[in-house]
A and B are shown apart, each in its own frame.
Chain A
Amino acid sequence: MSRENIYKIQLIGVGGQGTIKASTIMGEAAMKKGLNVVMSEVHGMAQRGGTVVTELKIGEAYSPLIEEGAGDLLIAFEPTEALRSLPKINCHSFVIVNSSPIIPFTVSLGISEYPELSSVFGELKAKINNLLIIDAQKIAREVGSIISENMVLLGAAVATPKFPIDKDLVIQSMKANLPPKSIEINLKAFEKGFKEAKKKG
């Protein structure tokens, strides 16, 4: 039972951003590669505007839940959500953060605060060696649909150095999991995210 080859990914975002879809696409691609993969997802009440977390372990793992500090890759769909995931990662983890904030209604109501973005990114930069901040929302809008934000981030994830699944397999899995109508835009979003990450590499 080799443990070294288990690759641990956490995705975190807000209900409606498509984190579960992006995770499922990765997991299915891993399966197509012949790897074992387990994944945990959140359903139900937590999806109504709350934080949505999915976790994947690719390799010979039993439980999908990532040990504290053991994550290899974190994909945060929202800046403050990256901070919420800090306990799962370490300074060597790859971290991809979408720079567009989603301000919850509790801030408008004055019952909670949204920190300055500069301090959010400042903290991430101070802690993480491999940090990629990407404006996935802007890229998604450019390719034609804001809903493809998740595919921009998926593309960026696939471009990270130690990502264990081939790009072709991920694309194949996208085609199997996304509605045919939207596949063209989603592929564009994916490629843009991929290129952006390579560029900033």
Chain B
Amino acid sequence: MKVKEILTEKKGQKLFLLGNEAAVRGALEGSVSVVSTYPGTPSSEIGNVFYKIAREARVYFEFSSNEKVALEVSAAAAAAGLRSFVFMKHVGLNVAADSFMSTVYTGVRGGMIVLSADDPSMYSSQNEQDNRIMARLAGIPLLEPSNPQEVKDLMKFGFDLSEQFKIPVLMRTTTRISHMRGVVNLGTVIQGKEKGYFKKDPSQFIVAPEYVVKMRKELIKKLKQIEEQSERSPLNKIIDQGGKEIGIITSGSAFNYVMDVVSENNLKVKILKLTFSYPFPEKLVLDFINRVDNILVAEEVEPVMEKEVLAIIGKYNIKKKVYGKLDGTLPRIYEYNPDIISFGVAKIVEKELIKRKKFSTKLSLPLRSSILCPGCPHRATYFALKKAIKKLKLKEEEVIFSTDIGCYALGLEPPYKMGDYCISMGSSLGIGCGFSKATNQKVISFIGDSTFFHAGIPPLVNAVHNRDKILLVVMDNRITGMTGGQTNPGVPLDGMGNPAPEVSIEKIAQGVGAGLVKTIDPVNLKETEEVFKEALQFEGMAVVITKHPCAMITDTENRKEGISVKYSINQEECTQCLICIKNFTCPAIYIEKDGSVNINPLLCDGCGVCVQVCPKKAIEVKK
């Protein structure tokens, strides 16, 4: 399949789509007009697809500077009567939370969907928060798809629901839904309106106390009405496999595991799948509870529905057992899979469930930690900085390295070990401000270009104003790298692929009054080391911008232009001092069985930084 087919394939065709790709198709079938995001795994591919097709689809798409801005862009579009779609990873919703909460109060005119991609088991995230709780905190209707087909179909459903009740709708996926591929039957793409018109009404769109007291009342009324819909919705359905001993209430990915376990073991149970799961359909669930002897709630991450079920049982004074996370039948942490569900179900059914022999190995397997790519400019930055620290005789173990969210956080790994504290997007410098006041230790903060635009500017303002003495290293690799290479405000392209003004990090740093601001190409190690030496001795706020394109960009450009430079090691000059391996650690350089050091031409990206690293000048262009 080619990406374009997500837009161009006709109704009645089938595509093998990723959950994230299905979200794009669903938005297009649902007449979306405005789409915004800040990239974050596991939601990133939605943006990557829009980036490629938005112009042709005549949809406005942008990579906003952060999730809060993205949410505001979509909220305004919906207030102007357009259908809008904003998506982010689960922790992105924390960044957007302030405006998210208020947008639920004000409501919308055009349909608006907020998609939160949660990450159970934290494959690429800092926490395992369950944003179904966010739905309850905000009072926003919640949809939980179980596969790509449902993701697609729920987009259109969500837009209609949103417009019917003039309220945004939250869709919660998880990594296993966003990154699950499945067969999707397509509907018709319907072009949305290109421009809306904002009719003024301060009583709806200004959250001043005099207005919000009414909005709050209105919201509770809406939720009651929406609950009537979730009670009747065909999205919430009972799958009856016979028997009434156990009724399983489930949603999202957990539903898939339940179905596979139930059908493989031919279990006689009833299953209630909740897809339109908030407002919680109390009567529907009560009716289901009344039809079975005991209940198992199978849901991923927090016992959200389980507590709703217990509340119903308490409210109606029902004497039935509820199995789930709270009694330990199923685990509270990490994502589920068929084996975990099977293990839990086995505890409460009479039947012996299928259990297979499990192989394992006694050999110790090599550790495949993530590492900065060959040719990554961040490696050069870390190498030069480490040298500067050493030359100035600073005690490295006393220097505090606060780092941030992005590829460069891998600098915490050996041999660099330059990462001591990292909690959230943009936190490196705020944390740095705290350490510079609370200790006498030297503080160095690292932040990427995209993260700087996202949440790095307010702490820089703070640091300058409060006279902090920090070295901020902005590792500007001209891309949002970790999430797969999206544009950001620092590069001359916008989300539609159109030319756009580059926002200068250097001018921002100068503008807010940082005392020393320097931009350097880190691939030039000697010069970079000198700049770092100066910045480390500077009495005040120092900002060093190490600017060099991500290896993913240079590799693609070189391939296009047919440039292929590789380096190799002259074995006669090499003394096997291993500085290139132990201190620089480019994954392309390795030790052969005979002890000789070599460069893997398949991995070598031709950056040439290792040539500067080698004290014996033994590395040369491969002939």
Residues of A within 8 A of B (CB): 1, 3, 14, 24, 27-28, 31, 36-46, 48-51, 60-70, 80, 83-84, 86-87, 89-90, 103-109, 111-115, 119-120, 123, 127, 146, 176-177
Stretch at the interface among B41-49, B79-87, B203-211, B318-326: B41-49
**Cross-chain contact A67 with B181 (CB below 8 angstroms):** no
Known contacts A80-B366, A106-B368: A67-B587 contact under CB 8 Å: no
B182 contact from A38, A60, A70, Cβ within 8 A: A38
B256 & A111 in contact (Cβ 8 Å cutoff): no
A67 touches B338 (CB 8 A): yes
Q: Which residue from A27, A67, A114 sits with its C-beta under 8 Å from B16?
A: A27
> A69 — which chain B residues lie within 8 A by C-beta?
356-359
Q: Identify the interface centre among B176, B361, B373, B482: most chain A CB within 10 Å of its CB.
A: B361
Are the CB atoms of B366 and A67 closer together than 8 Å?
A: no
B253 on the A face (CB < 8 A): yes
Instruction: Note all chain B residues with C-beta closer than 8 A to A103.
Output: 366, 590
Interface of B is mostly: loop
| Complex contacts, B264 vs chain A, CB 8 Å | 3, 67
24 A–B pairs (Cβ distance < 8 Å), ordered by A: A42-B123, A44-B41, A44-B482, A44-B483, A45-B124, A46-B124, A51-B368, A63-B176, A63-B257, A65-B257, A67-B264, A83-B361, A83-B365, A84-B365, A87-B360, A104-B368, A104-B587, A105-B371, A105-B590, A107-B366, A108-B585, A108-B589, A112-B367, A115-B364
B415 within 8 A of A: yes
Could you say which of A28, A104, A111, A115 contacts B363, with CB atoms under 8 Å apart? Answer: A115
Question: Does chain A have a CB within 8 A of B616?
Answer: no
B414 on the A face (CB < 8 A)? yes
On chain B, the residues within 8 Å of A123 by CB distance are 361, 363
| Extra contacts besides A24-B1, A90-B356, A108-B581 (8): CB < 8 Å | A1-B263, A38-B147, A39-B181, A44-B42, A45-B41, A48-B372, A67-B356, A113-B364
Q: A49-B370, A108-B591, A176-B1 are contacts. A67–B339 as well, Cβ < 8 Å? A: yes
CB-CB under 8 A from B574, the residues of chain A are none
Say yes or no: A177 contacts B361, CB within 8 Å. Answer: no
Q: Which residues of A contact B180 (CB under 8 A)?
A: 38-41, 64
Chain A residues, Cβ within 8 Å of B18:
41
Structural contact, A104 and B358, CB atoms closer than 8 A: no
- Taking a contact as CB atoms under 8 Å apart, the answer to whether A31 and B16 are in contact is yes
Roughly how many angstroms separate A106 CA and B591 CA in the complex, as a whole number? 11
List residues of chain A with CB within 8 A of the CB of B176. 40, 63-65
Nearest chain A CB to B561 CB, angstrom units = 15
For residue B342, which residues in chain A have a CB less than 8 angstroms away from its CB? 67
Name the residue of chain A whose CB is nearest to the CB of B354: A67
A90: chain B residues within 8 A (beta carbon): 356-357, 359
Q: Provided the pairs A87-B358, A104-B368, A127-B359 are in contact, do residues A37 and B16 lie with their beta carbons within 8 angstroms?
A: yes
- Please report B residues at the A interface, Cβ cutoff 8 Å: 1-2, 14, 16, 18, 41-42, 44-45, 123-124, 146-147, 176, 179-183, 253, 255-257, 259-260, 263-264, 337-339, 342, 356-361, 363-373, 407, 410, 414-415, 482-484, 581-582, 585, 587, 589-591, 602
Tell whether, in the assembled complex, residue B367 and residue A106 are in contact, meaning their CB atoms are under 8 Å apart. yes
Bound Cα distance from A66 to B356, whole angstroms: 12
Within the complex, the shortest CB–CB distance from A158 to chain B, in Å, comes to 17
Among B183, B260, B338, which residue has the most Cβ atoms of chain A within 10 A?
B260
Bound: A51/B260 CA distance, A: 26
Contacts of B16 in A (CB 8 A): 24, 27-28, 31, 37, 39
Separation of A22 and B29 alpha carbons in the complex (Å): 29
Query: Complex: how many Å from CA A114 to CA B592?
Result: 13
In the complex, which residue of chain B has the Cβ closest to the Cβ of A82? B361
Beta-carbon contact of A104 and B366 below 8 Å: yes
On whether A62 and B123 interact (CB within 8 A), knowing A67-B338, A104-B369, the answer reads no
* Bound-state Cα–Cα, A87 to B357, Å: 9
Q: Is A104 within 8 A of B356, CB to CB?
A: no
Q: Do the beta carbons of B582 and A109 come within 8 Å of each other?
A: yes
A50 near B260: Cβ-Cβ < 8 Å: no
Contact of A86 with B370 in the complex, beta carbons under 8 Å: no
CA distance in complex: A62, B481 (Å): 33
- Of all chain A residues, the one with the shortest Cβ separation from B254 is A63
- Does B366 lie within 8 Å of A113, measured CB to CB? yes
Chain B contacts for A80, CB-based, 8 A: 363, 365-366
Least Cβ distance of B360 to chain A in Å? 6
Interface centre among A44, A114, A120, A177 (most CB of B within 10 A): A44
Q: Are B368 and A49 in contact (CB under 8 A)?
A: yes
CA distance A75 to B390 in the complex (A): 47
- Within 8 Å by CB of B482, from A39, A41, A45, A67, lies A45
Q: Please, which residue of chain A has its CB at the minimum distance from the CB of B183?
A: A31
Contact B363 A176 (CB under 8 A): no
The 3 closest A-B pairs by CB, nearest first: A69-B356, A63-B256, A44-B41
CB contacts (< 8 Å) of B359 on chain A: these are 69, 86-87, 89-90, 127
Q: Which residue of A has the minimal Cβ distance to B258?
A: A62
Check if B338 sits within 8 Å of A63, measured CB to CB.
yes
User: Which residue on chain B has the smallest CB distance to residue A57?
Assistant: B260
Contacts of B366 in A (CB 8 A): 80, 103-104, 106-107, 112-115
A117 to B365, CA, bound (A): 11
Check if B585 sits within 8 Å of A62, measured CB to CB. no
**CB proximity of A98 to chain B, nearest CB, Å:** 14
The docked-state distance in angstroms from the alpha carbon of A64 to that of B16 is 13
Q: Are A41 and B407 in contact (CB under 8 A)?
A: no
CB closest residue in chain A, given B578: A108
Say whether A28 contacts B590, CB under 8 Å. Answer: no
A105 close to B179 (CB less than 8 A): no
